[in-house]
C-alpha cells in the first residue's frame, strides 16, 4: 500500500506528504490506529479515578 494518508497534528490537515503543506509541521500517519489519543486520555482518567476511589476506600 503506497501513499499513506498523513495528518498534521498541528492544524489537522490531511496530506500525502511527511510535512504539512499548510503549516510545514511534520505529519503522522492518519491510517488505522490501535488507539486514539482520546482513548489514551480516557484510560489515564480511568486510572486517576481508580486511584481516587482506592484512596477513599482505604481510609
Which segments within the chain are labelled E, that is strand? 6-8, 14-15, 27-29
- Report the residue from 4, 10, 28, 42 that binds Zn ion according to the rule CB under 5 A: 10
> How far is it, in rounded angstroms, from Cα 6 to Cα 18?
7
Rounded least distance, CB 13 to Zn ion, Å: 5
46 binds Zn ion (CB under 5 A): no
Report strand pairing: 6-8 vs 14-15: antiparallel
- Report the residue from 5, 11, 16, 46 that binds Zn ion according to the rule CB under 5 A: 11
Looking at the Cβ atoms of 12 and 31, the one nearer to Zn ion is 12
Amino acid at each position: 500500500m503506497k501513499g499513506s494518508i498523513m495528518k498534521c497534528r498541528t492544524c489537522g490537515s490531511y496530506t500525502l506528504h511527511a510535512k504539512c503543506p499548510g503549516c510545514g509541521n511534520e505529519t503522522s500517519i492518519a491510517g488505522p490506529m490501535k488507539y486514539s489519543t482520546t482513548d489514551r486520555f480516557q484510560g489515564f482518567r480511568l486510572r486517576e479515578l481508580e486511584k481516587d476511589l482506592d484512596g477513599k476506600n482505604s481510609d
